[in-house]
Structures are given as structure tokens and as C-alpha cells.
Amino acid sequence: MDNRPIGVFDSGLGGLTAVRELRRVLPAEDIVFFGDTGRVPYGSRSPHIIKEYAKQCMDFLEKQNVKMILVACGTVSSVLGEDIGAERKIPCMGVLEPTVKAAVSATKNQSIGLIATAATVASGSYEKLAAKLLPEVNFTGKACPLFVPLVENGYFASGCEVTRLVAKDYLSAFEGKDIDTLILGCTHYPLLYGLIDSITDYKLNLIDSGKEAALGAKELLEERNMLSGTKKIGDMRFFVTDKVEGFAKLGKEFLGEELKNVTRVEIDEL
Ligand code: DGL
């Protein structure tokens, strides 16, 4: 039993897709969320910058006395790969493994698509892991760099025409590929779940990387006997590196609960 909070980190709002699922499956857990909103998006940056930012964010969470770190960011998870928890005293996991496992068990025709940030697609991490778990896989990846800024600016409702136009263009990359499963490999993208589902005529298995990451974290804590022993609903604390108001407003819209405890952290102090 371990009553310390779970640390969750992302470049921005996307990590809340993992927090929402954590609240559902592990309601008694306290959560400390770190969103590097002052430097989002990560997905268009080079691997060495992404690694440096990730180190700072994870150091910050470790200082908050968390019991584990869930890297709720497809970009950081893909770029760090197996090095994700290297030299940390607490367990760390990313979205990659649970998400690919879910996709591999969902596909019936071994044809899987991935939408993610440019850095994630360029890393080849999702594709490599999918081919390891399912050697006969046909894998198609498509970078969708406009999705993160659209989501961060609140353009995620399923009726949003601007995002719909952009999404239609990106998703045309899968025409003729006969995929039956599409990985939403950036944790911001599950905020666009309804929109993507309707554009693809509700025909694909959509794999939500935020949700799968949260389920993976639950499994890890269970295996190591590190779940909280309390019965009350867990507290949540949020730290961001840019304005508190915008994050709290959009976060509430998405999580469906008030984000009471949001604090700004200066990037220079990380
Ligand atoms: N949610 C992050 C991911 O999963 C977004 C990355 C970005 O900031 O571009 O990749």
C-alpha cells in the first residue's frame, strides 16, 4: 500500500485524457498533474529538446513525492522509448506499450493506422513495437501537427467545422489502406474522439492512448502492491508553465470537474 500521489505529465491538456480514466478506475488515488503548457507543442521539436524538457518535468514531479510517473505524452514516450524510467527511483511508464497492446488485440485484419505528432511518427516507436507484437502487421502512420494547437485552443467539440476540415485532410492518408484499427497516439487526440469517429463512419476501433496509459498505470500499481489504502475520493493538484485560467477552464470542460488547485510554475525554475 502506498498513499503518495500518482504523478502524470504531458506538454499540455492531452494528459487529462489519462487523468480522466485514472479518476474512473482509481478514484481514491491522489494525482499531481504537470502540464508544460508554456512549451507545448513538443511534437514539432527535435528529440534532444524533447528529452531535455521531459527530464525537467519528471524531476519536478519526483520532487512532489509522487509514487510513480505516468508519462501521458505519446511524443515523450516514443522519443524516450525504453529509457523512460532510466535512473529514476520510482517506477515510470509511458503510453506506448499499453496502447500498442490494445491496438494489436483489437485488429482483426492486422492493418493498423497511427495518427500522432511529427516527432512520434518520425521515431518509428509505435510501428516497431506493433511489428514486434504482431509480425504480419500492415502499419501506416500519419503526422497530424495541427491537432495539438487546435485542442489547446479549445477546438475539440465534435461539431467544430475547422477541426473537421483539418481532420478529413489528415485521415485521407488512410484511404485504400483497409485499416480496421486507428491508434490515437497523441494523448491530445482522444479529445477529438467523437469527431474522428464520425469522419471514419464509426467503422474503426479507435485506440485512446490516454485511457490505455491509465489502465497500464493501474496494472503497474496493482502488481507492485502500491495502490492507495484510503477510501475517500483522491485530491488533484495541477501545475502548468503558462496561464492558469485557460487551462483550468478547458480542463474543467474536459474532465467534467472543477480544477480547483492549479498553480503556475516558472520554466526557469525547473
Ligand atoms: N499530448 C502530447 C502527445 O501525446 C502532445 C505533444 C505535443 O505537445 O506536441 O504527443
Ligand 1 close to Cβ of residue 115 (< 6 A)? no
Q: Which of 44, 84, 148, 212 to mutate to test the pocket of ligand 1 (most atoms within 8 A of CB)?
A: 148
Ligand 1, residue 185: give the atom nearest the CA: 4
CA torsion through residues 71, 73, 75, 77, sign: positive
Q: Tell me if 126 CB under 6 Å of ligand 1.
A: no
**251 CA to centre of ligand 1 in angstroms:** 16
Give the burial class of 161: count Cβ atoms within 10 A of its Cβ; 0-12 exposed, 13-18 middle, 19 or more buried.
Answer: exposed
192 lines ligand 1 (CB under 6 A): no
Instruction: List, as one string, the DSSP characters of 85-140.
Output: TTT-SS-EE-SHHHHHHHHHHH-SSSEEEEEE-HHHHHHTHHHHHHHHH-TT-EEE
Cis peptide before 149 (omega within 30 of 0): no
Q: What is the pLDDT of residue 254?
A: 83
pLDDT of residue 81: 92
User: For ligand 1, is residue 73 a contact (CB within 6 Å)?
Assistant: yes
Give pLDDT, residue 82.
87
Report how far ligand 1's centroid is from the alpha carbon of 90 (Å).
23
**pLDDT digit of tens for each residue in the chain (270 aa)?**
999 999 999 999 999 999 999 999 999 999 999 999 999 999 999 999 999 999 999 999 999 999 999 999 999 999 999 889 888 999 999 999 999 999 999 999 999 999 999 999 999 999 999 999 999 999 999 999 999 999 999 999 989 999 999 999 999 999 999 999 999 999 999 999 999 999 999 999 999 999 999 999 999 999 999 999 998 999 999 999 999 998 999 899 888 888 989 999 999 999
pTM attached to this predicted model = 0.95
- Bridging pattern class, strands 6-10 and 92-93: unpaired
How far apart are the C-alpha atoms of 250 and 243, rounded to whole Å? 12
Q: Is the CB of 74 within 6 Å of ligand 1?
A: yes
265, amino acid identity:
V
- Interatomic CA distance for residues 164 and 91, integer angstroms: 38
Atom of ligand 1 nearest to the CA of 186: 4
Q: State the pLDDT at residue 85.
A: 87
DSSP conformational letter for 214:
H
Residue 76 CB–ligand 1 contact under 6 Å: no
**Catalytically annotated residues:** 73, 186
**Pairing mode, if any, of strands 31-35 and 6-10?**
parallel
Cα of 120 to ligand 1 centre, how many Å?
9
In 3D space, the residue among 125, 264, 267 whose CA is nearest the CA of residue 185 turns out to be 125
